[in-house]
Amino acid sequence: MTARAAYLASFLIVTSFLPTSSSHSHVPAVTDALDIVSKISTEHDATIKASMDFGHIVRAIPSGVFHPTSPSDIAALIRLSLSQPKPFAVAPRGRGHSARGQALAVGGVVVDMRSLHDHDHDHRAGHGRYRMNNAVPGAWVDVGGEQLWIDVLHATLEHDLAPRVWTDYLHITVGGTLSNGGIGGQAFRHGPQISNVHELDVVTGTGEMVSCSPGKNSDLFYAALGGLGQFGVITRARIALEPAPRRVLWVRLAYSDVRSFTSDQELLISKRPAGGCGSGFDYVEGQVQLNRTLTEGRRSSSFFSAPELDQLARLAVATGSAAIYYIEGAMYYDDDTTTASSVNQKLETLLEELSFVPGLAFVRDVSYVDFLDRVGRDEQKLRSAGVWDVPHPWLNIFVPRSRILDFDAGVFKGILKGTRPVGLILMYPMNKDRWDDRMTTATPDEDVFYAVGLLRSAVAAADLEQLERENAAVLEFCHREGIGYRQYLPSHASLDGWRRHFGEKWSRFAALKRKYDPRAILTPGQGIFFSAGHDLTDQQTGSDSRNVL
């Protein structure tokens, strides 16, 4: 298709729905509409690419893909949608790293947020791509919602600064993670990424461009952070920074007993820094290695050497454990001789407090960048092996501390016992007091809860169905046993499921949706509200379980 034909097709898609009455309050000027339509691609390759996400499970083909050059373009697109008798859905997409079609818009328009990457915006004018305040304490950086965290890392390191909290994978966008939460091994100390934001610029579902913060338009600020894209498109975020270390002692400690594993994790996250110098790890996560993945699975690891994997496999056989657990910790330091010596002593002292299997403490000394971008390197290996672009039926849940041993017994020693999945199983605790309850994210009602991630891949054709059955069995077990879990990166099949997910926050969530996206055009792939074009009323966001897409 020629460029002219693509333009014409795009124009027809949109203008075929333009109202005939000039009295419609949302009708944009014809020239503005033509400019927006010119940035919508209906090319087959573009729409097919935007019809799938990282999960490779859900497919939803949009009518077009929008390539904005500024946040005002996104606002204009939304206003154009609202001018139609039946508005079209609008879904922002960064890297499409969702697993269940959350970034898709069947029949609507997908906004390619990365199109903003090559255009300077007002909030960064005169400062390259990033505007920064370097004063410590109180340092921050303004970044576009389309920016990748890996790029933010390199830009802030030029000033010896870095954000406080990172997701394990950095090749995803700022706006995408802030719309969900953004968790990682630093969250026990600093909270999720959404707890480390000072300001936002948001384009709402009414087509308005709004700056917000805890002191200005605060309801939108707290709604958008962790709001699953339901209230607006995040186009700028002011992220808190701290002095960046240069080196990391990266540690993995093996356990065959889940009680020792969880007790030590909870001890580690209870250690708070005193006078700016903590006595524990700066990063705490944990993994579960099922027995068969050690004894029969592929024998390769980006961290463990082959002899170390043999040690872990022998531990699994000798103890008869259904799973081997290991704590993953990190101590940050600078690379001068005095600091390096002191951090090694600090590590030795800390390890004496822990109950891992003697002789099974594994330590690597790596650069700060290499540590943070470890999953990015794994991605390249998986792509080379042809096992990256496969279905990823991931299940992420938050489990209250009081039930984590029950969960372990029912899931790892029950439902998944004897399985040999390809992928990771994460399990690590966080402190609830580091989450801001004014935000729309849902967490268990306990002071400490665990993030459990079944990050498994379906590398063979028959794997997907089996993994989906296991995920369903895990959720059914939690329901049956009354485990008060919450999903992270949630996916629910009914409005009742969403109401249970948000709990007492549901009424406020629905009210904010009516205020900031009353026609329900934004991010329809989440499946929470009616499809685009339906006005949301109190009744429609209440108990009617048929309001979901």
| Catalytic annotation, residues | 97, 168, 285
Whether the link from the prior residue into 137 is cis, omega within 30° of 0, is: yes
Distance CA(437)–CA(427), nearest Å, equals 23
- Phi, psi for residue 152 in degrees, rounded to 5: -60, -40
Distance CA(182)–CA(525), nearest Å, equals 19
Distance CA(71)–CA(302), nearest Å, equals 39
What DSSP state is assigned to residue 95? S
Answer yes or no: are the C-beta atoms of 86 and 250 closer than 8 Å. no
Answer yes or no: are the C-beta atoms of 199 and 492 closer than 8 Å. no
Report H helices in 352-425.
368-372, 374-384, 404-407
Torsion of CA 490, 491, 496, 501, to 10 degrees: -10
Find the helix or strand (DSSP H, E) in which 329 lies: strand 323-333
What tokens does 36 get? 């927006």
Distance CA(211)–CA(233), nearest Å, equals 12
Distance CA(387)–CA(422), nearest Å, equals 10
Find the helix or strand (DSSP H, E) in which 252 lies: strand 247-255
Distance CA(355)–CA(339), nearest Å, equals 26
- Phi, psi for residue 132 in degrees, rounded to 5: -130, 150
Answer yes or no: are the C-beta atoms of 76 and 32 closer than 8 Å. yes
What tokens does 480 get? 């049956």
Q: Which residues of 257-277 are buried (b: 16+ CB within 10 A; e: fewer)?
A: ebebbbebbbebbebeeeeee
Q: How far is CA 122 from CA 126, 143, 146, 249, in A?
A: 9, 11, 15, 40
CB atoms under 10 Å from CB of 352, counted, come to 7
Nearest partner of 549 among 104, 132, 217, judged by Cα:
104
Q: What angle do CA 50, 55, 60 make, to 5 degrees?
A: 40
Distance CA(547)–CA(423), nearest Å, equals 35
Residue-level length of the chain: 549
Distance CA(332)–CA(318), nearest Å, equals 34
Strand partners, 93: 112
Find the helix or strand (DSSP H, E) in which 430 lies: strand 422-431
What tokens does 532 get? 């685009």
Find the helix or strand (DSSP H, E) in which 293 lies: helix 291-295
Distance CA(128)–CA(147), nearest Å, equals 13
